């Protein structure tokens, strides 16, 4: 079967070469430039008498999107005063964001929240940061200079047809600004009680006449939270990071992007009663985090309705603590082509290949078999947006076919329908299938849950991967409506009904000898096997509205409601599938006010329902930010977080990780543009 | 394997033909003509505060939400000067990045998102806002490049121009149409 994929790749290569060579025959730069130079020499009255062709634009407006989409803008980033990407996601309706400890978050879309929430795909400038080890996102290493983020697009619901497996309940696209838009210098520094000290420096300049670059460096040091009874919960962390981005536009048609980051830092965790007997018992566990990535992208604008994108990246991550050491290298090739045919069809298709190689040495609690593994992922997708009634009714059909080394072939189709009764309103509906593919851990892991001795035999309760573990599957039905009238007001509602099959759970297996696995005598293993069993329905509503109350005051409110309905009896191990493990109601409010004397007063309010199965009560969080621009290029701000209580818990303790509570905090910041 | 190969090549050939766009150009693209208009506009516009802000050393044109126009403008302005200043074309995708320029082009996909207040604020700052519809002028935009029967017509909103202390030369006024508020009703 692999040969046929090889064939597809060869075909792709041939096709790309042909496509590129065909371009000059279709619409060359010289013809376009000549056309423009001709126009340049026309007088304004001649311009007024010129006939033009009518071409519809491929660019989609967010207001027209046929999905539940929410965009965090650079204004939101600046005015919220939040200092990390995970915290920014709190403002998105339908997302569950919980701070576990100072350096860990549980973030999911439409339920199933956990430390490694596995149904949400996250990309930074087209680079997937979803880890194939545990399925999920290591939020502690996902960062950049927040001032350089153009927007964060959050799509709730399956995005698998375009984005691939694991985009089951949502996709988060973090998009940084082009280097053109970050010219000049920026220096910022600040600190407070939790944010003990942070700083960032960026400088952007030109490369000849056709290119731009920026370089940046940032550092932060965050303090630990406290436990319920006021003890230090550990969790303090610090990280330094540097990177660059260069954008070259040598012609009207081509743009090239080269970007990269490197980072280094460490986190601390407080573990209680670890099952390890072999290693030195240690409740303060330090994890070293290092990594880097480099990405190149070439975009060719073939015509107003057609474009090619070719992207390649390499990403390395290292995570080292006494309990787990993981090094991982990802290499990815991605190709996309969009074009119009027969006037009504807007087609986009693409191919992707990804290689991931890891090395996980045996520790006192983790034994991976094999220790090192190389996996290949091949995928292709095609999507056709058919304009049934021009500008009114569109039907989008698409599917993704991918092959991975764990569950083999996966097909992820979707059908979307969009109706626009006028230019302000959009109704949309969609049915999609998506899968969450097995992780390396679910196949190959042996994790020591507990060790105990009975007589001469050493007993080990072992959470064990399963080679037959299959993908988790979703069929999602979605319906939404959005209105963006001319002035000052927008409103968006999305509803969904998700049907899941083969969700993960665990089942105990018969005891067996563990002498071979642990290289010890008289070891009896009591396995707890990872299996596919649960069948669950989830449904919910997400509403958001924005009002520009006056030219100086903008306010926005969001509400979401979520219900889980598990059809299988739950075991103790799988809390995240239970009804009582998600906040049923969530509400948020944001308000940005421009006051006289260059002052800004910004407010964020979040209400999150309790999670009875986790014994987490509901909480209300209020944040205030006061900003002042004494000069055009200087801004000073003061941010107060979590004003309403001393501290509150947002997520349960996980395994042996001590539970900690989010405290009230403040910081001051100064930003200078030069 | 052979049938697979055959299928693959059939797919390849189908794609190659499917990809044959009409290469005959019936006329100029609207975005090209609009870019040419924007490039020409400074010749017919005077900004009174140009003297006051003599410290300015660059003429900035910002384009909100239309990369094609931004690129066409880059080609048109290459090596050129406007009012003796080198030109910089900046593509932006939020109205909040719109300050600090002389001309702001607003793509029609962004017209709904831009408020009356924001357009008035830009006018107060002497920024010449250029849009693509009468709705845009109704909201408080200054110049509209409006398609009328396969042609692109310049429509000016004189009251907003006055607010921005911008004046148009007689040469432009001969070609341009003057926006009347009733026109805003489509």
Instruction: Report pLDDT digits (tens) over B81-113.
Output: 888 888 889 888 788 888 888 999 999 888 878
Cβ–Cβ below 8 Å for A11 and B121 = no
Cβ–Cβ below 8 Å for A486 and B135 = yes
Would you say residue B15 has pLDDT above 80?
no
Cβ–Cβ below 8 Å for B72 and A252 = yes
Extract the tokens encoding B66.
């239309």
Lowest-pLDDT range of A47-51, A281-285, A627-631: A281-285
With contacts defined as CB-CB under 8 Å, which chain B residues touch A57?
Answer: 109
With contacts defined as CB-CB under 8 Å, which chain B residues touch A301?
Answer: 67-68, 71
Calculate mean pLDDT across residues A405-417.
95
Highest-scoring range by mean pLDDT, A62-66, A208-212, B156-160: B156-160
| pLDDT score at A219 | 97
Instruction: Report pLDDT digits (tens) over B138-179.
Output: 999 999 998 887 788 899 999 999 988 999 998 888 888 898
Distance CA A139, CA A115 (A): 9
| pLDDT score at A148 | 94
Cβ–Cβ below 8 Å for B112 and A339 = no
* CA nearest neighbour of A527 among A512, A541, A540, A544: A512
Extract the tokens encoding A622.
């209020």
Chain A contact probe: residue of B33, B56, B153 with most A CBs at under 10 A = B33
DSSP class of residue A444 equals H
Provide the shortest C-alpha distance from residue A341 to chain B (in Å). Answer: 7
Provide the shortest C-alpha distance from residue B27 to chain A (in Å). Answer: 5
Cβ–Cβ below 8 Å for B113 and A73 = no
Could you list the beta-strand ranges (E) of A136-253.
Answer: 136-137, 149-156, 170-176, 184-192, 195-207, 211-222, 237-248
Instruction: Report pLDDT digits (tens) over A439-459.
Output: 999 999 999 888 888 888 888
Percent of chain A with pLDDT over 70: 90
Torsions phi, psi for A656 (to 5 deg):
-95, 5
| pLDDT score at A3 | 55
Report whether A506 contacts A571 (CB < 8 A): yes
Provide the shortest C-alpha distance from residue A252 to chain B (in Å). Answer: 6
Interface A-B, measured as beta-carbon pairs within 8 A, has a size of 164
Calculate mean pLDDT across residues A86-94.
95
Calculate mean pLDDT across residues A492-513.
92
Banded pLDDT at A102 (limits 50, 70, 90): very high
- Concatenating the DSSP letter of every residue in A269-335 gives EEB-S-S-SSSPP-SEEEEEEEEEEEEEEEEEEEETTEEEEEEEEEEEEEEE-SS-EEEEEEEEEEE
| pLDDT score at B10 | 54
Banded pLDDT at A579 (limits 50, 70, 90): confident
Would you say residue B186 has pLDDT above 80?
no
Banded pLDDT at A53 (limits 50, 70, 90): low
Banded pLDDT at A281 (limits 50, 70, 90): very low
Lowest-pLDDT range of A29-38, A43-52, A365-374: A29-38
Instruction: Report pLDDT digits (tens) over A284-324.
Output: 789 999 999 999 999 887 876 788 999 999 999 999 998 88
Calculate mean pLDDT across residues A549-555.
88
| ipTM over the 0.90 cut-off | no
Would you say residue A24 has pLDDT above 80?
no
Instruction: Report pLDDT digits (tens) over A511-542.
Output: 998 888 888 888 899 999 999 988 999 999 99
Per CATH, which fold does B27-179 belong to? Rossmann fold (3.40.50)
Instruction: Report pLDDT digits (tens) over B35-86.
Output: 999 999 998 998 876 654 555 678 899 999 888 889 889 889 888 888 888 8
| pLDDT score at B26 | 39
| pLDDT score at A599 | 93
Lowest-pLDDT range of A96-100, A527-531, A564-568: A564-568
Distance CA B123, CA B134 (A): 17
Would you say residue A149 has pLDDT above 50?
yes
Distance CA A41, CA B93 (A): 29
| pLDDT score at A12 | 55
Q: Please name the residues in contact with A157: beta carbons below 8 A apart, sequence gap of 6 or more.
A: A67, A68, A109, A110, A169, A170, A430, A432, A476, A478, A494, A496
A484: closest chain B residue by CA: B112
Would you say residue A59 has pLDDT above 50?
no
* CA nearest neighbour of A592 among A640, A644, A627, A637: A627
Calculate mean pLDDT across residues A647-670.
88
| pLDDT score at A561 | 96
Chain A contact probe: residue of B71, B123, B131, B171 with most A CBs at under 10 A = B71
Provide the shortest C-alpha distance from residue B5 to chain A (in Å). Answer: 8
With contacts defined as CB-CB under 8 Å, which chain A residues touch B68?
Answer: 301, 304
| pLDDT score at A571 | 66
Would you say residue A641 has pLDDT above 60?
yes
- The answer to whether A546 faces chain B, any CB pair under 8 Å, is no
Instruction: Report pLDDT digits (tens) over A169-180.
Output: 999 999 999 898
What is the residue-averaged pLDDT of chain A?
Answer: 87
Percent of chain A with pLDDT over 90: 61
Lowest-pLDDT range of A46-50, A184-188, A477-481, B1-5: B1-5
Cβ–Cβ below 8 Å for B152 and A19 = no
Distance CA B124, CA B101 (A): 13
With contacts defined as CB-CB under 8 Å, which chain B residues touch A32?
Answer: 32
Provide the shortest C-alpha distance from residue A575 to chain B (in Å). Answer: 42
Report whether A512 contacts A527 (CB < 8 A): yes
Would you say residue A85 has pLDDT above 80?
yes
Would you say residue A32 has pLDDT above 70?
no
B177: closest chain A residue by CA: A48
* CA nearest neighbour of B131 among B105, B153, B155, B109: B105
With contacts defined as CB-CB under 8 Å, which chain A residues touch B112?
Answer: 63, 423-424, 484-486
Report whether A585 contacts A558 (CB < 8 A): no
Extract the tokens encoding A19.
């496509």
Residue listed under structure tokens 């924005």: A546
Instruction: Report pLDDT digits (tens) over A623-632.
Output: 999 999 998 8
What is the residue-averaged pLDDT of chain B?
Answer: 79
Provide the shortest C-alpha distance from residue A10 to chain B (in Å). Answer: 10
């Amino acid at each position: 079967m692999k040969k046929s994929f090889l064939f597809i790749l060869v075909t792709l290569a041939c096709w790309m070469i042909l496509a590129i060579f065909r371009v000059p025959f279709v619409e060359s730069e010289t013809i376009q430039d000549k056309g423009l130079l001709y126009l340049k020499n026309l007088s304004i009255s001649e311009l007024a008498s010129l006939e033009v062709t009518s071409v519809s634009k491929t660019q989609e407006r967010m207001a027209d999107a046929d999905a539940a989409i929410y965009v965090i803008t650079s204004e939101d980033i600046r005015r919220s005063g939040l200092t990390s990407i995970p915290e920014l996601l709190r403002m998105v309706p339908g997302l569950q964001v919980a701070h576990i400890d100072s350096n860990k978050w549980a973030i999911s879309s439409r339920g199933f929240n956990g430390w490694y929430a596995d149904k949400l795909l996250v990309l930074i400038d087209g680079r997937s940061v979803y880890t194939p080890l545990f399925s999920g996102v290591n939020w502690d290493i996902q960062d950049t200079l927040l001032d350089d983020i153009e927007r964060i697009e959050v799509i709730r619901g399956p995005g698998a047809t375009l984005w691939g497996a694991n985009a089951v309940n949502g996709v988060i696209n973090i998009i940084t600004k082009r280097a053109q838009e970050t010219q000049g210098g920026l220096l910022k520094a600040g600190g407070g009680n939790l944010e003990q000290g942070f700083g960032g420096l960026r400088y952007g300049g030109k490369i000849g006449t056709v290119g731009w670059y920026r370089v940046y460096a940032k550092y932060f040091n965050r303090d630990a939270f406290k436990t319920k009874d006021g003890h230090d919960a550990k969790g303090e962390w610090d990280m330094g990071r540097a990177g660059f981005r260069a954008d070259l536009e040598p012609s009207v048609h081509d743009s090239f992007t080269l970007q990269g980051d490197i980072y280094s830092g460490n986190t601390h965790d407080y573990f209680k009663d670890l099952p390890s007997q072999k290693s030195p018992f240690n409740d303060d566990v330090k994890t070293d985090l290092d990594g880097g990535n480099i990405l190149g992208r070439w975009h060719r604008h073939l015509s107003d309705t057609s474009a090619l994108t070719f992207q390649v990246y390499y990403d390395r991550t290292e995570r080292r603590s006494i309990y787990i050491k993981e090094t991982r290298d990802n290499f990815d090739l991605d190709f996309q082509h969009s074009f119009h045919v027969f006037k009504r069809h807007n087609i986009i298709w693409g191919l992707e290949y990804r290689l991931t190689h890891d090395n996980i040495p045996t520790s006192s609690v983790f034994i991976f078999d094999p220790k090192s593994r190389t996996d290949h992922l091949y995928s292709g997708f095609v999507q056709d947006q058919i304009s049934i009634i021009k500008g009114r009714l569109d039907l989008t059909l698409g599917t993704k076919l991918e092959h991975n080394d764990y569950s083999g072939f996966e097909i992820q189709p979707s059908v979307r329908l969009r109706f626009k009764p006028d230019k302000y309103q959009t109704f949309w509906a969609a049915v999609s299938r998506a899968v969450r593919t097995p992780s390396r851990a679910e196949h190959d892991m042996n994790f020591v849950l507990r060790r105990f001795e009975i007589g001469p035999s050493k007993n080990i309760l072992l959470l064990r991967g399963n080679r037959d573990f299959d993908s988790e599957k979703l069929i999602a039905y979605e319906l939404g409506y959005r209105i963006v009238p001319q002035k000052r007001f927008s409103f968006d509602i999305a509803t969904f009904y998700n049907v899941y099959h083969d969700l993960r759970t665990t089942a105990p297996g018969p005891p067996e000898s563990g002498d071979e696995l642990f290289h010890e005598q008289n070891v009896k293993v009591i396995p707890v096997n990872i299996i596919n069993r649960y069948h669950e329905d989830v449904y919910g509503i997400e509403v958001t509205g924005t009002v520009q109350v006056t030219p100086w005051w903008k306010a926005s409110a969001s509400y979401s409601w979520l219900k889980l309905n598990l059809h299988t009896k739950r075991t103790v191990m799988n809390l995240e599938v239970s009804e009582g493990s998600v906040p049923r109601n969530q509400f948020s409010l944001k308000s940005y006010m421009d006051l006289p004397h260059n002052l800004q007063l910004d407010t964020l309010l979040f209400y999150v329902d309790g999670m009875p199965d986790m014994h987490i009560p509901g909480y209300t969080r209020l944040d205030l930010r006061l900003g002042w621009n004494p000069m055009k290029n200087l801004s000073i701000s003061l941010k107060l977080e979590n004003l309403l209580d001393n501290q509150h818990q947002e997520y349960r303790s996980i395994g042996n990780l001590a539970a900690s509570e989010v405290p009230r905090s403040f910081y001051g910041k100064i930003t200078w543009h030069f | 394997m052979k049938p697979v190969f055959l299928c693959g090549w059939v797919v390849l050939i189908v794609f190659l033909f499917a990809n044959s766009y009409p290469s005959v150009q019936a006329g100029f693209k609207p975005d090209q003509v609009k870019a040419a208009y924007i490039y020409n506009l400074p010749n017919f516009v005077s900004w009174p505060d140009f003297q006051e802000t003599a410290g300015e050393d660059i003429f900035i044109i910002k384009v909100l939400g239309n990369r094609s126009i931004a690129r066409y403008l880059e080609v048109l302005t290459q090596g050129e000067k406007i009012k003796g200043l080198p030109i910089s074309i900046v593509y932006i995708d939020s109205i909040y990045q719109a300050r600090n320029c002389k001309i702001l082009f607003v793509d029609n996909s962004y017209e709904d998102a831009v408020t009356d207040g924001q357009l008035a604020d830009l006018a107060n700052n002497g920024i010449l806002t250029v849009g693509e519809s009468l709705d845009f002028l109704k909201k408080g935009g200054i110049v509209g490049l409006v398609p009328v029967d396969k042609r692109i017509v310049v429509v000016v909103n004189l009251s907003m121009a006055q607010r921005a202390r911008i004046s148009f030369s007689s040469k432009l006024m001969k070609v341009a149409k003057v926006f009347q508020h009733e026109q805003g009703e489509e």
